[in-house]
């Protein structure tokens, strides 16, 4: 790049910075949005040796920051666009924010939502005055339909994140944060499509350049991480559905450009870590954050594991539209995320007093779960959960103590199949005839949850292959998960895998998974 080109690039970026700064400062969002509190998390601050604050976007009228960007976009529409109305595809908070913003401005809003959308979000959109059209079983299907409706009905399509006015509206969160915490050392911001991170980053880096900005993604929806590795936005192969508010397949073009220039780092966190942060938020604020809403605090806690401490850290609680039935899943997983539970397979002698001796071997630790079934063998496999104090080191000490006591131990604490399915299925291994045992293949499936989804899945699988194992749990979430075993001999293998490919469901073979081999095969 020549000196002239370099100077031109710098001038362009400076102009962009100033334009966003102007847009953020002038955004008329307080016609409908509120300035949210910055809550100090005192207990967590003591535990993590840092000053930790939570920016409470759950306090917005729609319990999410999305209202800011939606209202700012609508406030900048032309009179003609307002007359024809607006439309958007959304499975969640963008829909609610747009519906309320449109109602405030007297604009007709149509929201296209997947049939899998939790009732709480559909009902809220209608309550805020939006027209809901339920189309398809995925966001992509709803999005395609919204584009068709927009063209056919001459409506303005409102993008949930990749729009200049939407990005500027979200940037007002940073304006408030700097007023409330002028000397923040690090700010943690959740990432889905990137609108919130982009808007906050471009503002913070101009007014507080020493503040470190960290984006936080869910491990199974890390579209920003993929884009940074590729040098530009790319589609990721699969998108996890637990943190549905950030379940985005591709980062925005506008948002990525800003994030690439103004964001310092990206952290990814897993489901258990998100669940642990939901619990922490509830214990300190009595607010039940949705998974995407707790994402940034999970990233903050991961950062603290390797930081020096004594910093001023702020996380954005981006939303609190939690589907109530998902709380069961969160409660099951949060202690694993806090490192307060170990899930183990232990071999014990099949004799009287073995359980008592095992309890003595683990010391004063509480057993959270114990699964066992008599098989007539000289030894037995038990599936056991043990409560810990909250450190990886303690788990290692527990494992070593059991080994020293001559127990055969396998650690399944990080084994997703064990945590999601096997722990609920302990009760004996496959005792079908030998040739069937040899041919059993195990698969996990994930599909959009809606009334009749399981029946549809079974119908799609057909009756050609004998099902040898089946486990399904409905958490009341937007996705259903099945673990299924099939009797498939070598001659059928090619036909079977072609059938799986034709189904259109996400699937993964689990036949070699150690948890399956230990307890179910």
Pairing mode, strands 86-89 and 109-113: parallel
Closest CA to 404 of 363, 343, 447: 363
Phi-psi bin for 170: left (phi > 0), alpha (psi -120 to 50), beta?
Answer: alpha
User: Which residues, 6 or more positions from 515, have their beta carbon under 8 angstroms from its beta carbon?
Assistant: 345, 412, 415, 417, 418, 422
Q: Which of 66, 279, 302, 340 is catalytic?
A: 66
The answer to whether 478 touches 118, Cβ cutoff 8 Å, is yes
Question: H or E element: which one contains 111?
Answer: strand 109-113
Closest CA to 215 of 176, 239, 179, 248: 248
Helix axes 164-180, 253-262, angle to 10 degrees: 30
User: Which residues, 6 or more positions from 261, have their beta carbon under 8 angstroms from its beta carbon?
Assistant: 13, 202
d(CA 286, CA 387): 24
Which residues are registered as beta bridge partners of 54? 39, 315
Residue 310 CB neighbours (<10 A): 9
d(CA 482, CA 220): 18
The answer to whether 289 touches 322, Cβ cutoff 8 Å, is yes
Which residues are registered as beta bridge partners of 483? 444, 471
Helices within 286-391 (DSSP H only): 295-304, 327-337, 354-361
Q: Which of 90, 296, 318, 444 is catalytic?
A: 318
As given in the structure block, the two tokens for residue 80 are: 């003609």
* Residue 517, phi then psi, degrees to nearest 5: -60, -35
Can 379 be counted among the known catalytic residues? no
∠ Cα 496 500 506 (to 5°):
150
Helix axes 195-207, 164-180, angle to 10 degrees: 50
Closest CA to 392 of 411, 420, 418, 371: 411
User: Which residues, 6 or more positions from 92, have their beta carbon under 8 angstroms from its beta carbon?
Assistant: 64, 117, 121, 244, 245, 319, 321
As given in the structure block, the two tokens for residue 385 are: 């959960």
∠ Cα 464 466 469 (to 5°):
140
Rg (CA), the chain: 25
Pairing mode, strands 186-190 and 156-157: unpaired
Can 66 be counted among the known catalytic residues? yes
List the catalytic residues: 66, 318
């Amino acid at each position: 790049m020549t000196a002239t080109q370099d100077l031109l690039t710098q001038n362009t970026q400076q102009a962009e910075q100033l334009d966003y700064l102007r847009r953020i400062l002038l955004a008329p969002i307080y016609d409908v949005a509120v300035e949210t509190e910055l809550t100090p998390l005192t207990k967590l601050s003591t535990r993590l040796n840092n000053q930790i604050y939570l920016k409470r976007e759950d306090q917005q009228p729609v319990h999410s920051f999305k209202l800011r960007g939606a209202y700012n976009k609508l406030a900048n529409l032309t009179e003609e666009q307002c007359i024809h109305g607006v439309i958007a595809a959304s499975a969640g908070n963008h829909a609610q924010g747009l519906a309320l913003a449109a109602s405030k401005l007297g604009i007709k809003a149509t929201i296209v939502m997947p049939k899998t959308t939790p009732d709480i979000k559909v009902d809220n959109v209608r309550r805020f005055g939006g027209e809901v059209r339920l189309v398809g079983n995925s966001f992509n299907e709803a999005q395609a339909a919204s584009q068709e409706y927009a063209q056919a009905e001459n409506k303005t399509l409102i993008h949930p994140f990749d729009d200049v006015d939407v990005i500027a509206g979200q940037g007002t969160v940073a304006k408030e944060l700097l007023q409330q915490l002028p000397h923040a050392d690090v700010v943690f911001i959740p990432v889905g499509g990137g609108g919130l991170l982009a808007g906050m980053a471009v503002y913070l880096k101009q007014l507080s350049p020493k503040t470190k900005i960290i984006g936080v993604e869910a491990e199974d929806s890390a579209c920003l991480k993929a884009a940074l590795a590729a040098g530009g936005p790319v589609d990721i192969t699969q998108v996890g559905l637990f943190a549905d508010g950030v379940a985005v397949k591709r980062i925005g073009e506008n948002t990525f450009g800003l994030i690439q220039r103004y964001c310092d780092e990206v952290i990814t966190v897993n489901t258990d870590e998100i669940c642990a942060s939901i619990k922490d938020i509830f214990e300190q604020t009595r607010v039940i954050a949705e998974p995407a809403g707790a994402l940034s605090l999970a990233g903050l806690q991961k950062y603290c594991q390797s930081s020096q401490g004594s910093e001023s850290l702020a996380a954005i609680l981006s939303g609190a539209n939690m589907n109530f039935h998902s709380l069961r899943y969160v409660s099951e997983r949060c202690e694993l995320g806090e490192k307060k539970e170990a899930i183990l397979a232990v071999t014990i002698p099949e004799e009287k007093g073995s359980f008592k001796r095992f309890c003595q071997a683990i010391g004063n630790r509480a057993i959270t779960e114990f699964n066992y079934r008599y098989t007539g063998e000289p030894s037995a496999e038990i599936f056991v959960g043990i409560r810990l104090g909250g450190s990886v080191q303690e788990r290692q000490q527990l494992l070593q103590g059991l080994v020293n006591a001559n127990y055969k131990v396998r650690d399944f604490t990080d084994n997703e199949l064990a945590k999601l399915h096997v722990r609920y299925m302990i009760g004996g291994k496959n005792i079908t005839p030998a040739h069937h045992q040899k041919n059993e293949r195990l698969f996990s499936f994930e599909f959009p949850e809606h009334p009749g989804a399981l029946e549809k899945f079974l119908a799609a699988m057909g009756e050609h292959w004998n099902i040898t194992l089946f486990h399904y749990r409905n958490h009341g979430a937007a996705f259903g998960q099945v673990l299924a075993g099939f009797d498939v001999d070598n001659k059928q293998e090619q036909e079977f895998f072609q059938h799986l490919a034709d189904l259109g469901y996400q699937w993964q073979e689990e036949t070699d998974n150690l948890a399956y081999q230990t307890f179910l095969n």
